[in-house]
Amino acid sequence: MKLKSNILKIAIFATGLSGIVAEYILSTLATYFLGDSVFQWSMIVSVMLFSMGLGSRISKYFNDDLLVKFIAIEFVLSLLVSFSPLLAYITASFTIYTGLIIYLLSILIGLMIGMEIPLVIRINDEMESLRVNVSSVIENDYYGSLLGGLFFAFVALPYLGLTYTPFILGFINFSVAIFLFIVVSQHIKPVIKSKLVISAVSISIILVIGFFSAKPIIIFGEQNKYKDKVIYSEQSRYQKIVLTEWKGNHWLYINGNQQLSTLDEIMYHEPLIHPIVNLSENPANVLVLGGGDGCAVRELLKYEAIKNITLVDLDPVMIEFAKTNPIMTEMNDNSLLNPKVDVKTTDGYIFVEETKDFYDIIIIDLPDPRTIELGRLYSLEFYKKCFKLLRPNGLIITQAGSPYYATNSFRCIDKTLKSADFNTIMLHNQILTMGEWGWVLGSKNIKTEKLLENLHSLEYKNIDLKWLNNESMKLLTSFGKNIYNIPAEEIKINTIHDPVLYRYYLNGNWDIY
């Protein structure tokens, strides 16, 4: 009796691990395909918890053969969990209903998980007192959840990705079912036993085939997500990195969003780098936050006056990709291997909070603030920390999204920088593959009028530039009338405790993009 009870607790520990990781996988899939990580994670987890409640309620109608029913549930879960990403990618390839499939899978998996604990408690009821039974079963489920969270954060997502992690979970559920079946097989009716054996053999074959077919299926689904040929795809701990190719040009995507194209990246990186460097009286020490592709650093290295460049990027996979991939190294001229460049793989917010160094220029080349996590690096608190790191005549520039596709977001960044005591100027340029894109440039001491005057008088001599020239500077700082969205005075400042920026961004005019 004691042995059977311990086996049940081991089983619920394993299913607790599998269940929590299944929630994380579905939340990650929803974020990747549907965007807005905070909304998707909260909704997926809420839907699954609600479904678990329904599953728990449904389990009360099971009156006999409880262990057999538990084994059957584990069989079903092993298939649902294993194939959930493949179903999402296949759906995304042929329909617009990816979100529906992901949420339907969340409901089904939640129902199955919700049945597990009540069934195990009832099965274990004859072996332990109610007080010990309930606490020990739930205790093991929670312990399994903790291990599942650690597994997902430190092993599954960074090393196995969404391709193989679900199959690991599926094999856990399947192994639990097989183990229990072997232990209690002598107590199962022959007819039911035969059905379970046939099911077990069939599921094992399906799981093995699925495991070895997963990567090509994911690649097929990924390819259909992009209009051009996918030549590189990798899921790091932090993001999905994809490189595509069309007619000799390449596009870099992070989490499905274009970051740059070799066709026109100079129209982004030259305005980002050269105006601010030429405005600086002594651009000796430069801090680049983001910019893991190495293109911003490539432009900075064109200046002998720049002695040290510190590049801070969160993702070591992105850095290694930019350092070693031949397409990337050709594009960035091996900039990240230059001895002037000190690459640090850490969170940009933490870096500016902890560093003891000071800089003449800070370049912020981060992805768009489409999430609360990214919005933290566009916050008032963050900009104030940057202000302290700059020397008295220091300058800062940040990419700020589109002034027309996300007008309120663009103006929110400008207003937040001003609130951090920077004198600012907004810049924009037409990027062929991305549309109208913008930056906000700030100075600690130079007043806005003088800053604008200095910008317009810049002369780029003896610098290898492919697009930027003196004439283009007046175009970069010229904006028409405000024709979109709410009045400027109603734009709020983005702070950590009131993260309005990501909502401004997501509510932009992206349907015309």
Task: Band the pLDDT of 124: cuts 50, 70, 90.
Answer: confident
Residue whose structure tokens are 């689904």 = 221
Alpha carbon distance 252, 433 (integer Å): 12
97 and 215 belong to one structural domain: yes
pLDDT tens digits along 274-296: 999 999 999 999 999 999 999 99
The tokens 């290694």 sit on which residue?
Answer: 320
Residue percentage of the chain with pLDDT more than 70: 97
State pTM to two decimals.
Answer: 0.81
What CATH number did the domain enclosing 319 receive? 3.40.50.150
The DSSP secondary-structure symbol of 405 reads T
| Domain boundaries, position 166 | 2-225
**Could you please report the per-residue DSSP string of 157-169?**
IIIIHHHHHHHHH
Identify the residue whose tokens are 């933490």. Answer: 350
Residues 279 and 392 in one domain: yes
User: What is residue 1's predicted lDDT score, i.e. its pLDDT?
Assistant: 57
Contacts of 375 (CB under 8 A, 6+ apart): 369, 494, 499, 501, 502
Residues 311 and 190 in one domain: no
* Tens digit of each residue's pLDDT (9 = 90 or more) over 23-65: 999 998 888 888 777 789 999 999 999 999 999 999 999 988 8
Q: Has 421 been annotated as catalytic? A: no
Q: What is the pLDDT of residue 462?
A: 84
| Same domain membership, residue 272 and residue 245 | no
pLDDT the model gives residue 506: 87
Residue 483, pLDDT > 80, answer: no
Q: Is the pLDDT of residue 482 over 80?
A: no
Partners of residue 243 on adjacent β-strands? 232, 252
Q: Same structural domain for residues 172 and 283?
A: no
Answer yes or no: do 434 and 419 share one domain: yes
Asked whether residue 233 falls in the same domain as residue 292, the answer is no
Residue spans of alpha helices (H) in 295-406: 295-300, 316-324, 326-332, 348-354, 372-375, 380-389
- Tell me, what's the pLDDT at 485? 59
- Give me the pLDDT at residue 216, please: 86
pLDDT of residue 129: 78
Tell me how far apart the alpha carbons of residues 224 and 80 are, in angstroms, rounded to a whole number.
Answer: 23
Percent of the chain whose pLDDT exceeds 90: 62
Question: Could you tell me which residues come within 8 angstroms of residue 475 by beta carbon, excluding any fewer than 6 positions away?
Answer: 429
Phi, psi of 413 (to 5 degrees): -65, -45
Q: Which of 200, 225, 250 is the last residue of a domain?
A: 225
Per the structure block, which two tokens stand in for 489?
């005075």
pLDDT of residue 65: 87
Which helix (H) or strand (E) element contains residue 245?
Answer: strand 240-246
Does residue 315 share a domain with residue 334? yes
Check whether residue 360 and residue 436 sit in a common domain.
yes
Structure confidence at residue 220 (pLDDT): 80
pLDDT at 128 over 80: no
pLDDT of residue 428: 94
Task: With a cut of 60, say whether residue 513 has pLDDT above it.
Answer: no
Write down the pLDDT at residue 510. 67
Shared-domain flag, residues 246 and 309: no
Q: Which residue has the higher pLDDT, 486 or 74?
A: 74
Q: Are residues 355 and 252 in the same domain?
A: no
Q: Which helix (H) or strand (E) holds 259?
A: strand 257-261
Q: Is the per-residue pLDDT at 501 higher than 70?
A: yes
**The two structure tokens encoding residue 74:** 């584990």
| Higher per-residue confidence, 428 vs 483 | 428
CA 121/CA 115 separation, integer angstroms: 10
Number of domains within the chain: 3
pLDDT of residue 405: 87
- 216 with 182, same domain? yes
pLDDT at 4 over 70: no
Q: What is the pLDDT of residues 354-378, one digit of tens each?
A: 999 999 999 999 999 988 889 999 9
Whether residue 273 has pLDDT greater than 70: yes
Catalytic residue among 36, 141, 347, 365: 365
State the pLDDT confidence band at 219, using cuts at 50, 70 and 90. Answer: confident
160 alpha carbon, distance to own chain's centre: 16
Calpha distance 217→89 (Å, rounded)? 8
Of the listed ranges 156-160, 195-199, 331-335, 445-449, the least confidently predicted one is 156-160
Beta-carbon contacts of 316 under 8 Å, excluding residues fewer than 6 positions away, are 236, 345
Q: How does pLDDT run across 136-169, given as a tens digit for each residue?
A: 889 999 999 999 999 998 888 778 888 889 999 9
Which of 201, 225, 249 is the endpoint of a domain? Answer: 225
Tokens of 169: 């979970």
CATH of residue 94's domain is 1.20.1250.20
Residue-wise over 156-180: b if at least 16 C-beta within 10 A, else e? bbbebbbbbbbbbbbbbbbebbbbb
Top mean-pLDDT range of 59-63, 168-172, 298-302: 298-302
